[in-house]
Amino acid sequence: MNLDKCFIIAELSANHGGSLEVAKETVRAAKRAGADAIKLQTYTADTITLNVKSDDFKIKQGTAWDGQYLYDLYKEASLPWEWHKPLFELAEKEGLICFSSPFDKTAVDFLEELNTPIYKVASFEITDIPLIKYIASKKKPIIISTGIATKEDIELAIQTCKEEGNEDITILKCTSAYPAALEDANLLTIPDIIQQFKVKSGLSDHTLGIEAPMIAVALGAKVIEKHFILDKKIGGADAHFSLDEKEFKLMVDSVRRTEKMLGSVDYEMNNKKKKSREFSRSLYVSENVKSGDIVSEENIRSVRPGFGLHPKYYDEVLGKIFTKDINKGTPLKRDFFSK
């Protein structure tokens, strides 16, 4: 991906309320909110877990989903595969990029049929090296979240992509808590990812609010992913940490303003700076002087505005002799005194 500006992804995820029409309107709302892309998740309960009601498969992580079995949660949250094509088509019509996170090889094959332009590897799949290898083999840009990853996991995922000849890799800082506490965001990891792994980086954000994406962009993030919902009244597995259209638009606008303020490294003099330099300090005659007077601390000063001699010459001109009468308030010039 050629990322001239931050690539902002609206994550549809489970925020469809079991309705294709809700999902479609969510795509339209994402466009209105300023997203660059809408992201789906491509799985069924059977492709992501087992229908087993044992303790291993029961959620007990201190989340809003505690007490549910994985199979039941994913059955409720999954996006029907027959919805993918109309959502891809609608996104294209709206001018949005549509792509997805596949959770097994059959999902990758299905997304290839839809000509997905990008692949996303979810945080909990970063250890699924066979899946990453298969995704990378498709030679499309790959975005990988790192919510549960060790440094070694990240290195192995990147190595796997590169061994398949895929170098278009973006690694997202992510905190796999829903919602994530601010003190767990650790956004300084973003520039470290860029430096250590020599890849693009970004943020998959689960914190509440919009501050984290703004800070992430200031730290070098080129991708922001945030869960998006048409209306929180829809409810569902991800509603409690998702942004609605108004909130998402506020985030997008804030990110774009942050990018504008970051600008580029700039030491060059432009017309605005030249004009402002009129208010800088310079050397002025501070008392009326006569020809033959000695230049001293009593008759010249460094003051605003900036039309006189540069203050760096202050010590150099002290002790010289004025060769003409000069009135107080005149900008000091070299031809006012002896050489």
Residue 286's CATH number: 3.90.1210.10
Residues in the chain, total:
339
Handedness of CA 104, 47, 128, 198 (dihedral sign): positive
pLDDT at residue 149 above 90?
yes
Domain check: are 202 and 125 in the same one?
yes
Does 16 share its domain with 161?
yes
> Domain containing 16 — which CATH number?
3.20.20.70
Could you tell me if 191 and 279 lie in one domain? no
CA-based nearest residue to 103, from 116, 82, 87, 119: 119
* Same domain (yes/no): 188, 302: no
Query: Which one of 244, 262, 280 terminates a domain?
Result: 262
The tally of domains found in the chain comes to 2
List CB contacts of 115: < 8 A, sequence separation 6 or more.
Answer: none
Q: Is residue 62 part of a domain?
A: no
Tell me the pLDDT tens digit for each residue of 46-103: 999 999 999 999 888 777 778 888 998 888 888 999 999 999 999 999 999 999 999 9
For the full predicted model, state whether its pTM sits above 0.85: yes
- Structural domain that includes position 238: 7-43+78-262
pLDDT of residue 240: 87
Tell me if 66 is assigned to some domain.
no
Q: What is the per-residue pLDDT for 330?
A: 98
For 4-20, what is the mean pLDDT?
Answer: 93
- Compute the half-sphere exposure of residue 74: CA atoms within 13 Å on the CB side of its CA: 19
With a cut of 90, say whether residue 150 has pLDDT above it: yes
Q: How far is CA 208 from CA 12, 58, 139, 187, in A?
A: 16, 26, 34, 15
**For position 73, what pLDDT does the model report?**
85
